[in-house]
Amino acid sequence: MNVIEASGLGKRYGGTWALRECSLTIPAGHVAALVGPNGAGKTTLLNLAVGLMAPSAGSVTVLGGLPAGSLAALDGIAFVAQDTPLYKNLSVADMLHLTRNLNRRFDDRYVKGRLDDLGIPLPRKAARLSGGQQAQLALSLALARRPRLLVLDEPVAMLDPIARHDFMATVLTAAADDGVSVLLSSHVLAELERVADYLVLLSHGRVQVAGDVDDLLACHRVVTGPTAQADRYSEGLNVVHARRGEAQVHFLVRTNGSADPVPQGWEAHPVGLEELALAYLREPGAAALPGPARGDDAQLSAAMR
């Protein structure tokens, strides 16, 4: 089942397209990271997926074909927006009661146990909780609904490192225990490599990269070698991004996955997720989307031999 399927999805504000021609299939059972610089369209995409916005073009379905925003979709998706909106003058107990009333499923025991572990007292007003506690409360309420998909919009941007650690531990434990699929957006790449196993890279409103993290890392590598031979060697390669020095050049290339040997004097290194994402973000024309490109790579590598 695909938790998110977007087809030509686009959203326009006035004359500007915040998101364009976005086609995605995010499979279930993954922790998917939606990554991109500020203004890339991450929040727009998430809002479209949870039904807070209607698309200007294309369509998006969730949880295996349900229309985004329909009652069945709302039932199965829990969303925590940026800045974790809570009713500030309600107490924690009131927020629990509220969420219980507004949803079909609510695991009271789970959420009370969580809040107990976190030391969040039930009678306290939500406004008097710390930022980390508010985030944990919002997350606990979302998970108490027993959703199939948890959507988080920049959940840890405002949290200190400890709160960030605890928050993500909660998310991942829920994913491990209950099989909740997770889609979270972030503009901080460094921590995502441990956490995410599916990556969607958005830049200027378009999807640049989408795929399973293991596959992406297997399909890319950095080859390093002398600048003098750079042009000749790079002809047969699908170079995503090049960094040239006086004597040495690094090419981040996209392969078809096989570990082809490099010529004498060149070295191949594996590439990390952050390096990969940064390289694509610096090259707006490059894209790594699941689909046809693999065939081209095979022809190119064959020609190169």
- Residues at the contact surface with another protein, assessed by CB under 8 A: 1, 27-31, 47, 50-54, 64-66, 71-72, 74-79, 81, 83, 85-88, 90, 94, 97-99, 101-104, 138, 145, 148, 165, 168-169, 172-173, 175-181, 193-197, 212, 214-215, 217-218, 221, 257, 259, 267, 269-270, 272
Nearer to another protein, 203 or 256 (CB): 256
E strand or H helix at 58: strand 57-62
Rounded to whole angstroms, the Cα distance separating 132 from 22 reads 33
**Which positions ≥6 away from 26 have C-beta within 8 Å?**
2, 3, 4, 5, 32, 181, 183, 198, 200, 210
Q: Quickly count: other Cβ atoms within 10 Å of residue 97's Cβ.
A: 14
Least distance in angstroms from the C-beta of 168 to another protein: 5
Nearer to another protein, 79 or 233 (CB): 79
Rounded to whole angstroms, the Cα distance separating 185 from 168 reads 13
Rounded to whole angstroms, the Cα distance separating 21 from 49 reads 15
The encoded tokens of residue 207 equal 């999807």
Least distance in angstroms from the C-beta of 267 to another protein: 8
Nearer to another protein, 54 or 284 (CB): 54
Nearer to another protein, 21 or 197 (CB): 197
**Maximum pairwise Cα distance, the chain:** 71
- Per DSSP, the residues of 140-206 read HHHHHT--SEEEEESTTTT--HHHHHHHHHHHHHHHHHH--EEEEEES--TTHHHH-SEEEEEETTE
Nearer to another protein, 59 or 235 (CB): 59
Nearer to another protein, 219 or 235 (CB): 219
Least distance in angstroms from the C-beta of 30 to another protein: 6
Least distance in angstroms from the C-beta of 298 to another protein: 11
Least distance in angstroms from the C-beta of 165 to another protein: 6
Least distance in angstroms from the C-beta of 284 to another protein: 27
